[in-house]
Amino acid sequence: MYTKDIAVVAITRLGVETALKISETLEKAGLNCKVYAPKKYNQNGVVSLDVKFADFIKQNYNSVDAIVGVMATGIIIRSVAPLLESKLSDPAVIGVDSTGKFVISLLSGHYGGANELTRIIADGIGGTAVITTASDAMGKQSVDELARLLHLSIQNPESLVGVNSAIINGDKLVVVIIGNMTIPLGKVSCYDVKKVKDGVEAVEIINNYDAGIIVTNEPVSISKFNKPFTILKAKRLVVGLGARKQATIDSIIQAVCTGLKLAKVSIEDVNTFATVDIKRDSVEMVAAVQQLGKPLEFLSVDALGSLNHKDLSPDSKLVQEKIGVGGVCERAALIAAGENSRLILKKTKLNGVTVAIAEGE
């Protein structure tokens, strides 16, 4: 989920000490982060904060996955308030007091992952996680949390208030899976789950409950429902690959499995693999993807080189010299994932293989 940097910002000397503990915790969890603080409090591993906190937020709000402010929550709230757009697009925002006693999820708790990040930080620094979303407080799973866990997009976000209200009020809810869609049922809690062949059957089932969730890749007629419902659609998941000539079938499969584990997705969720077209003759890569049971798309160097995307890692001079483009796996994954794609796993290297994972609509 956290493919961009997590910004950890402190404004006091004691706060910097706590921020560095947070940074250590996040790094242990395999998450990228940078610690920012005023120049007078700089230490090793701290980036100088040369502007006011509110200005820093304005400059970085859309380029980070999460903001952790080690300061009074009032400062954080006043700084982010003018920038708020949607719970589906705002970054996770977390407040931590300067001593690290309390770690507070402030914004984008479910879909943005602030609640999960709050727990990670609190466990790591010995603080108390403060999570106030009603479903979490009651031990229930919200729709947006379910969507995040299953890598599904919310097609009608205006429905979330009604369906989540039904959840926290103890109403009876159902998850209806249409057609050939599959989801890992172990990640679904507090719902009945039904599988149907089409939207007609979905309507019949949901109208017998207080509210429902539809998981589908098919068009659904909204007018036929009498109860609140949310439509969740599977995102397109693509694994981008790059590999040295000496990479073996086993090393490629091992790298893919490691990448999937880091991104918390299964091979069943993947739609396709993608790489550069000069790998068409790579017996090892073709065989590895065949063993994984998915198709492999080949993209031209020109197509890869023409991509301009905010999630891309810095270009590799070595790769640029060898094939004419500064990177393969991230670019291939983003292009093959299609519209509004984003990286959920940035370039990860293992035994001469690079893996990246993108999701798109």
What is 6-132's CATH number, 3.40.50.11220, 3.40.50.620, 3.40.228.10, 3.40.50.150? Answer: 3.40.50.11220
Q: The whole model's pTM is what?
A: 0.67
Per-residue pLDDT of the chain (361 residues; tens, 9 = 90+): 666 689 999 999 999 999 999 999 999 888 889 999 998 888 888 999 989 999 999 999 988 889 999 999 999 999 999 999 887 788 999 999 999 999 999 998 888 889 999 999 999 999 999 998 877 777 778 888 888 888 888 888 888 889 888 888 888 889 999 888 777 777 787 788 899 888 888 888 988 899 989 998 776 666 666 788 899 988 889 999 999 989 999 999 999 999 998 888 889 889 999 999 999 999 999 999 999 999 999 999 999 999 998 888 888 888 888 889 989 999 999 999 998 898 989 899 998 999 999 998 7
- Angstrom distance (rounded) from CA 81 to CA 107: 10
Burial class (CB in 10 A: 0-12, 13-18, 19+), 338: middle
User: Cα–Cα distance between 284 and 254 in angstroms, integer?
Assistant: 13
3-state secondary structure at position 119: helix
* Rounded Cα gap, residues 191 and 172, in angstroms: 8
Strand order in the sheet with 296-299: 296-299, 272-276, 236-243, 353-360, 342-350
User: Which residue in the block uniquely carries the two structure tokens 């400062």?
Assistant: 75
Handedness of CA 99, 102, 103, 105 (dihedral sign): negative
**Superfamily (CATH) of domain 236-360:** CobE/GbiG C-terminal domain (3.30.420.180)
Domain boundaries defined on the chain? 6-132, 143-234, 236-360
As a whole number of Å, the CA-based R_g of the chain is 22
Q: What is the b/e burial string over 228-267, where b = at least 16 CB atoms within 10 angstroms of the residue's CB?
A: bbbbbbbbbbbbbbbbeeebebebbbebbebbbeebebee
Could you give the CA distance from residue 291 to residue 276 in angstroms, rounded to a whole number?
Answer: 19
Alpha carbon distance 74, 203 (integer Å)? 45
46 touches 141 (CB < 8 A)? no
Query: What contacts 328, CB < 8 A, 6 or more positions away?
Result: 240, 241, 242, 275, 276, 304, 319, 354
